[in-house]
Each structure stands twice: as C-alpha cells, then as structure tokens.
Amino acid sequence: MPPKAEASLIARTVDPDDRRRNIVSITRAGTKQLAILDHVIADTQEQLLAPLNQTERRQFVKLLHRLLDTD
C-alpha cells in the first residue's frame, strides 16, 4: 500500500554545527513504510526464485553479484 501524500517519511532539520547543512532522518512512519516495502521485496523475490532449489538460488545470486562487480 503506497503512503499517503501527506505522510512524512523523513524529517529534515538544520545541522546545529553547520547551519548550511540539513540532517535527514527517517521518521516512525518512514520506518513502518520501509518494513512494508521489505516484505513486498521478499515476497517478490520468493516468487521469482520459486522454481530454483537452495543450491540453484545461491548459484544464481553468486552469478548476479559477479555480473554487478564487473566494470
């Protein structure tokens, strides 16, 4: 479920040591939304990898890391 437009997921405050900077922090609502998204991602990954057994999943992830680590 997407967050409401008015929901504050982050809080921005002025850095007391350097007023030119902002400190950005996740709010309680942001933390809740992040947990929801974590479950959505986990469910999606489970559906995607369902045809693979554990050994195949580890090999698939290892190969993906290898692809991402190449420049």
Q: What is the pLDDT of residue 70?
A: 76
Q: What is the pLDDT of residue 56?
A: 97
Instruction: Please give the Cα distance from 59 to 68 (Å, whole number).
Output: 14
CATH number given to 10-69: 1.10.10.10
Does the global pTM surpass 0.75?
no
Cα end-to-end distance, the chain, whole Å: 37
Q: What is the pLDDT of residue 6?
A: 56
Instruction: Please give the Cα distance from 1 to 68 (Å, whole number).
Output: 30
Instruction: Please give the Cα distance from 22 to 15 (Å, whole number).
Output: 5
Q: What is the pLDDT along the chain (71 residues), one digit of tens a residue?
A: 555 555 799 999 999 999 999 999 999 999 999 999 999 999 999 999 999 999 999 999 999 999 999 76
